[in-house]
Chains A and B, each alone.
Chain A
């Protein structure tokens, strides 16, 4: 298959992730959708790496994975902390202290 197909798949995954971030209300699922977007970007990177034949894309994909891991770690830590303080974590909309 040509690289174009891989890029198309990557675009679809990325858009699905973006839509999910804005539509879903559970913060955990929002983070999951964020992961989706990152994966979409990863796929594009690997595809381009294959196209050019050098390893730059792969390295960057590895770094993206690292960053994603860190971000998941911190994000989940925050959710756990919020949960610990007995605040409802059902709805991201309820975390709107910065309104106005």
Chain B
């Protein structure tokens, strides 16, 4: 799947997206950014509740292409500006991390 396919998932709202052409091959769920930094696979989407600009920096370091911010948390402006700069797409959803992960797993063909 590509990043823009995430925008089509039910209940996902696009906060920042470029063309959304980047390929996504995997996903990682986590809120401890040190763990994300060490273990998230490249070319993945991160499912998290950490809605701040440090998440973008960590995503960039770990070659994560997109962030899905769960539990209806809002994304601050400085986070979205950082996302634009690092070309990392950001989506929000009311879903829990589990619900969002299920939808993404299905879209990735992993279940």
A, B: real partners:
no
- A interface with B by C-beta (< 8 Å): none
